[in-house]
Amino acid sequence: MLQQTTVAAVTPRFERFIARWPTVEALAAASDVDILGEWAGLGYYARARNLVACAREVARRGAFPATAAELRKLPGIGAYTAAAIAAIAFGEDAAAVDTNVERVISRLRGLEHEAKARIERLVLDVIPKGRAGDFAQAMMDFGATVCRARNPRCGACPLSRHCVAFKSGAPESFPAPKVRRPRPHKYGIAWWIERGGDVWLVRRPAKGMLGGMAALPGGDWTEALPPFSSDLGTVRHLFTHFSLDLAIVPRPEPVGEGWWHPIDGLAEAGLPTLYRRAAELALGATERLRAAA
């Protein structure tokens, strides 16, 4: 849950999630719809889909694998997570290299553009044998609180005597900043279909953006402007790889496979933030239109 999401946003959601599914087996037996509904609003829904796929695989095996190499075979577990679990939970001397660790090692050694594999080897060289878990957690905290991306606290750093970046006088220039590609912009529509206090909702296809989530119906998101005016407003939303303008357009008849959901109960519909904001905008606009009529 903490990937790309703050501790403040995650804490109450994590506690609710763990209370509802306290074991791997309980999570493995839950329905995708319930899990995605519980995740609604946290974003990055691939995490929820991977989490349940992983729980089902662990339940099928009967236990978690105990090595980084085996953990990597589980859905949603990449090199960093596998190494962190193996080091912290199972005591394996594995190198857990996230952006914090990459930054600390790059600065200590004065590396501008080093391949991750080389950083992993450098980390493995300095892990105190048998204490990889403590080392991984210490490095995470050190990178987050002392050797920060901006304004590193070199004056308070116990490693400054050995640090090439500190000696250079410009520690922030290590590692060299990554070149960011401009984020493309897309357009889409969301149909607002209302009938007697209910609104028509659909489920998005299992694969792709917001896969499996409850949503307002609408077509694909493309780089071309949609041929509709956004009568009820437009929501601008930032995804990791693109930005989106979602025009909300009223429509009289239901479209696609879906269900009528009470407007009063939209908070429990499991809508992701994009569609929750679209629904709020549509409701505000329809109220204003009714008041003006």
Q: Which residues bind ligand SF4 (CB under 6 A)?
A: 104, 107-108, 146-147, 152-154, 157, 159-160, 163, 165-166, 171
Rounded CA gap, 51 and 214, in Å?
Answer: 19
| Shortest distance, position 149 Cβ to ligand SF4, whole Å | 10
| Shortest distance, position 120 Cβ to ligand SF4, whole Å | 18
Query: Which lies closer to ligand SF4 via its Cβ, residue 147 or residue 190?
Result: 147
Query: Which lies closer to ligand SF4 via its Cβ, residue 36 or residue 165?
Result: 165
Query: Which lies closer to ligand SF4 via its Cβ, residue 170 or residue 291?
Result: 170
For residue 202 the two structure tokens come to 């659909």
Residue among 198, 215, 192, 207 at smallest CA distance from 270: 215
Rounded CA gap, 158 and 22, in Å?
Answer: 40
Query: Which lies closer to ligand SF4 via its Cβ, residue 99 or residue 243?
Result: 99
| Shortest distance, position 144 Cβ to ligand SF4, whole Å | 12
Q: Which amino acid type is present at position 30?
A: A
3-class DSSP assignment, residue 126: helix
Rounded CA gap, 163 and 107, in Å?
Answer: 7
| Shortest distance, position 156 Cβ to ligand SF4, whole Å | 8
Query: Which lies closer to ligand SF4 via its Cβ, residue 12 or residue 155?
Result: 155
* Contact yes or no for 42/5 (Cβ under 8 A): yes
Query: Which lies closer to ligand SF4 via its Cβ, residue 27 or residue 108?
Result: 108
| Shortest distance, position 147 Cβ to ligand SF4, whole Å | 3
Q: Which amino acid type is present at position 185?
A: H
Q: DSSP H helical segments within 66-221, as ranges?
A: 68-71, 79-90, 99-109, 116-126, 132-145, 164-168
Residue among 103, 139, 143 at smallest CA distance from 119: 103
| Shortest distance, position 178 Cβ to ligand SF4, whole Å | 18
Sign of the dihedral defined by the CA atoms of residues 85, 87, 92, 93, in that order: positive
Rounded CA gap, 227 and 224, in Å?
Answer: 9
Query: Which lies closer to ligand SF4 via its Cβ, residue 60 or residue 161?
Result: 161
| Shortest distance, position 41 Cβ to ligand SF4, whole Å | 35
* Contact yes or no for 20/38 (Cβ under 8 A): yes
